[in-house]
Structures are given as structure tokens and as C-alpha cells.
Chain A
């Protein structure tokens, strides 16, 4: 867990809690529970960056989400984030940054921890931030005072959600695939600006990586990934598209494949 700081809201799961989470993640999602629609967002939320940090035995999926103040007039916020695939994360944390709306917060930027709470599905009062509402996930409890502080300098708060997963096993073509939640099924699709895949190992951590949107309406174009070389492709295949130029549907997820030794 060198690259990961567990927050006080998430404990490392025990066997017993994992047994609870798995049925929630798969059983409830399959039972098609009808949920009330999520509250309408008070602003246009965007995803400036999705970053995968790959290590020898785990991968950290990091979502950077920009939440502008928009029409927010006060009150605590509950934000729902669904778990990705292949399964629930081993650990998760979230932090709140304020300041510059245009760039990534510097490494030493001040931030506040956001309290997380696991949940079998989106609670009715929670805004839908990432992923389908009827999947297991976590609710981010964002206090009014903290959000106000974060949006004060530039009008935009940056929420960074990190989830630590076991390294997925290789498929027959030596690839590992991870599904990153993007969509807010039933809500508005969030514009995605950048995908990064990096290796935390010093030598030859990742040989190549590619990414594409996946879902029933997803556009077929491969998306540009920064940080690692793209895999060799047939000459007829379309060139990767900058993520910002992709048409995002609310049912899309992001499928990232990478080749590691």
C-alpha cells in the first residue's frame, strides 16, 4: 500500500465484510431494484483525469472529478460512487482539493479527507457521481463547510477518489483489463479529459496500454492514453482519439487494457 493512504472512513476489508460486499455487488445489481431518480446536479460535473497506477500486485484507479459550485446554495452533499470491475476494491479513499480549476493540484496541495461509507446501492438522497446507481459502491459524505472552502478560490472543487484493486489476471493474449466507472446511468454523461496509465515499478512496469469506452451505446474509437506507449495496431485501425473528443453516453464505462511483464 505504498502509494495508498487509507482514510478513516474505509477499513481494510475482512473476510466477513468481503462476503457481505460480493453479494451486494453482484446479487443486488442483478435483481433490478427500481430506485428513485437521483437529485439533479446543481452544476456540470466533469472528469478531468482518470489515472491508473499499476504496481506489481495491485492497481490504483484514481478519478479526479471537478464539481463547480454552480447553483449550490448550501447543505451537506452525499455523492455515490459505484465500484469498478472486476470486483469491489480492497480499499478506497477520497480527498477534496480546492483552488485552480484549470490544472491538476500539485503533489503538495492541501486537501481534506472525505468520509466514505460502503453501500449496496445509491441512497435516495445521494447525487450520482460515478457508475450505475444500483451497484454496490460508496457514498462520499462532503460537509457543507468543506465544500464551501474548496470552491471558494476558483468556484470549482476537485474530488479525488482512489480505489485499490488486486491486479487483474492476464487473459489469453497476456493482457490485463480493468473497467473504470464513468457513466452515471440515468444522469448526464461526464466529459472525460485525460486518461493516464503509469507504472509504479521503476523498470518496464507496463509495456503498452489502450483504452476505449464500453457500454451499449459506446463509440468504437480507441482513446488516447498518456504515460505509456500504445500497443501496435493494424494500419487500418483508427488512431486513438483524445478522450475530450469522444462522445460520452451515460451508460459508458472505460475499459483499460494493459500489458505488463
Chain B
């Protein structure tokens, strides 16, 4: 790729194909049942010219004209992300192999072999705290095997960042809020919700009896599922319902929503989150791929959070799900509690997995102790929570979700989700560039404080 003759639009098309190939590969990897024993072909092999250091350096040195500059600027993070994906591919596969391996035992009534992956599914889908604790013990037994993979994958990511002269990984420090700002916001979110979380814990029967590390974590998972809000949503947890309810918003978009299995009302909120995410990512606008999409997907996460918060809204519960006023109030409170736990977890997850914050085992202990209000099993350190790569973007999106939700109410009224004008506005946003500059510089701590205040208003 000579720096004097780079066809940016051709490069953009190749980046789009490479991105699709890696997304398809990851979907397939997730769907593989049982052990991933057979060799897996490198999905980026045909795309070396957009997934290598040479490509990055040639593009960075290319003198683009005024019209080409935005495309060049949008392509660079993509090439970084693809290099990182290519280098980290073997660890992704190793991680999946290790988490699917039947290397542990779960002490159910009939003890049997289990995998780390299955153990976590067991934790989420367990009908009561006692079984959840059993599955947690199986997961904790297997967790230390994963820590070396996570550690090595991180070393490679850091190395890629250094070699490209960037000093950060592909999805960190790339949004409008710097890593320092995100760290301060995450700490603020933990600190300013501590009293509220403690008060909620006192209200919870499961929490008050949880006196072991596994019981504490198990009770937290149970609370986060919102199993006490069963009205109105279970029959609506389908892609068809989502597309019919938001018919104008869905027009022309390409959706591929993986809906969660129904466990509690949190599953419904998660489905709405994924729908909002898909509305943004599936938008059509005729822009070059790299301008219309960015590897961090911050705006898609932001819209996801706005949709995911809809079940907290009594207007939505009454008008769309058709539940009565009293039930709507009760369910909204239950889901607000889930949303608080989720918000705190998004912040904590970033603190625990960020390459830039480089957390030590003491940091892990401190943050998990804060989130779960007591220590959890130390065998999870270094492998749980696992890094998904979207922690930074999700935290930034979370901080920007409340202003976006308020903006929607200001523009289109309280029931914006039913307003056809919202659909046109949302389609325009979805079809537009991935990066939407804020009118004012973002103050991450102020955004975090504002989010904490809104939780206090709903739950306090």
C-alpha cells in the first residue's frame, strides 16, 4: 500500500468485509456446542492488508485531501481494531476452549462434570440461592485456569498499542471521555451510590442472610435479575414484538438481535437494550462503512441504554405493556434496582478490566468488596469479570444515556417511544456518522453524579 496512492473507499470496503468476517467468526465461536477441539481457520487471513501494522502506518502517513480526511481518520481506529483482533485471535479461541472444557465438578444432587461456561449459566438460571452457590463453587474452582490466558491476551493488546505508537488498546481512550475521566466517573459512581446500595441491601431478605462469599455474589445475581417483576413482558420477549412496537424505527434497518432467555424482567430490559443497540448499528445512510460505524460502538451502546431503561418508565409500562398503575410502580422500582446494580457493575467492570487502569489484586479485592458489599471468592481474581473489550465504550455510553433520554423527552414528549417523529430522528441518527460530537465538552464526573442523583430520586 503505497502512501501516494491509497484508495480510501476501496480500503473502507475491505475494512467492512474484514469486520463482518470477524463478527461472523465470533458468532460462530459462541454457537459451537461443547469442546472447541477442531482447528479454527483465521477469518482475517484474506484481509492482512487491512489488519497489519504496515497498513496502519501507511494510512497514518498518507496525506489525505479535505474531503478524504474524515474517511482516513475513521479508518485508522478500524485498522487498529483489526490488528488487535488478529493478534488476539488465538487467545479468544483458547479462552473459549478453556471455558467449554469439562474440567470441573458441580456438586448437584447427582454430581457431574461441568465447564466454566456452563457453571455461569447455572448461576444465572438457578431457581434459588442454594443452587446458585453450588454453581458458583464450580465456577470458582475453574476460574484460576483462565487467568493466564487473560493475562497473556492483555500483554499482546498492550504490545499492539505500543507498536502502533498509540499506547492504548483499540476501544480504550477513543471516545470523547479520556481514560482518566472514565476512571474518575467510575469511582464517583461507586462512591455516590454506596449509601443507596447499602439501604437496598438492608431491604433484601436474600442479602441479609448472605454471609459467605458465594452467598453474597449469588444474592447479588438474584437481585439483578428482577424476578419479582413478572407482569406484562414475558410474552413480548420476541424480535417480532420489538419490530412491531417500534415499527417506524425498524423500517429499513438490518437487525440481528440475539434475544436473551427469559429469567426475570432484567431479560426484557436486556432485550430492549439489544434492540436499541441494533437500531443504531443496523441503520442505513450511504456513508462509508468506517464513518458510519466505529469499533467502539459508543453511540449504539448509548441508545441501547436508553431503550434498556424503558421498563423503568411507568408510562412505558402502562401504555405499551398495558399493566395497571400499581403494578407499574412496583415493577418500575424493581427494575430501577436492577438498573442501579447494572450501572455500578458497568463502572466496576471497567475498573477491573481496563488495560489503562492496570488493576492489581488489591484493586480487584477493593472494587469487588465495594460492589458486592463484602468479599467474594479470591479464585475469581484475574479471570472474572472477563474482558469483553467494550467496557470503556459501555461506561462512556452509560454516562451519556441520561442526557440522551432527557433530550428525547424534551423533543418528543414523555412517550417519545410512541412518537413517529422519534423514529425519523432515530433513523437519521442511526444512518449518520458513528461519532457525534457533543456541543459542550463532557464532564464525566458531573455526568456520573447526575446519574447517581436520578437513581436516588427513583429509589431513595
Q: A102-B7, A220-B439, A224-B66 are in contact. Are A244 and B428 (CB under 8 A)?
A: no
Pairwise interchain contact A247-B428, C-beta atoms closer than 8 A = yes
What is the predominant secondary structure among interface residues of chain B facing chain A?
A: loop
Contact residues on A (Cβ < 8 Å of other chain), bracket: 20 to 34
Nearest CB to that of A48 among chain B residues?
B67
Q: For the complex, is B433 an interface residue (Cβ under 8 Å from A)?
A: yes
Interface centre among A188, A190, A217, A220 (most CB of B within 10 A): A188
What is the predominant secondary structure among interface residues of chain A facing chain B?
A: loop
CB neighbours of B286 from chain A (8 A): 44-46, 190-191
CB neighbours of B424 from chain A (8 A): 217, 249-251
Pairwise interchain contact A247-B432, C-beta atoms closer than 8 A = yes
In residues 306-320 of chain B, which contact A (Cβ within 8 Å)?
A: none
CB neighbours of A194 from chain B (8 A): 67
Nearest CB to that of B411 among chain A residues?
A217
A248's partner among B7, B70, B431, B435 (CB-CB below 8 A) is B431
Interface string of B411-442 (1 = CB under 8 A from A): 00000000000001101110111011101000
Pairwise interchain contact B284-A244, C-beta atoms closer than 8 A = no
A193's partner among B67, B429, B432 (CB-CB below 8 A) is B67
CA distance A191 to B252 in the complex (A): 16
CA distance A102 to B435 in the complex (A): 23
CA distance A242 to B435 in the complex (A): 12
CA distance A99 to B96 in the complex (A): 47
CB neighbours of A102 from chain B (8 A): 7, 9-10
Pairwise interchain contact B285-A44, C-beta atoms closer than 8 A = yes
CA distance A217 to B429 in the complex (A): 11
Nearest CB to that of A195 among chain B residues?
B67
Nearest CB to that of B287 among chain A residues?
A191
CA distance A248 to B425 in the complex (A): 9
CA distance A143 to B174 in the complex (A): 48
CA distance A44 to B433 in the complex (A): 15
Query: Shortest CB–CB separation between residue B339 and chain A, in angstroms?
Result: 27
CB neighbours of A245 from chain B (8 A): 70, 291, 433, 435, 437
Q: For the complex, is B69 an interface residue (Cβ under 8 Å from A)?
A: yes
Q: For the complex, is B71 an interface residue (Cβ under 8 Å from A)?
A: yes
CB neighbours of A238 from chain B (8 A): 437, 439
Pairwise interchain contact A247-B436, C-beta atoms closer than 8 A = yes
CB neighbours of B7 from chain A (8 A): 102
CA distance A220 to B70 in the complex (A): 19
Pairwise interchain contact A242-B69, C-beta atoms closer than 8 A = yes
Q: What are 14 contact pairs spanning A and B, CB under 8 A?
A: A44-B286, A45-B286, A102-B10, A188-B252, A189-B285, A189-B431, A191-B286, A244-B288, A245-B291, A246-B433, A247-B432, A249-B424, A249-B428, A250-B428
* 8 residue pairs, one from A and one from B, having the closest CB atoms: A247-B432, A46-B286, A44-B286, A191-B286, A249-B428, A242-B70, A191-B287, A245-B433
Q: Name 7 extra pairs, CB < 8 A, besides A191-B287, A242-B66.
A: A44-B284, A46-B287, A188-B252, A189-B431, A191-B285, A238-B439, A247-B433
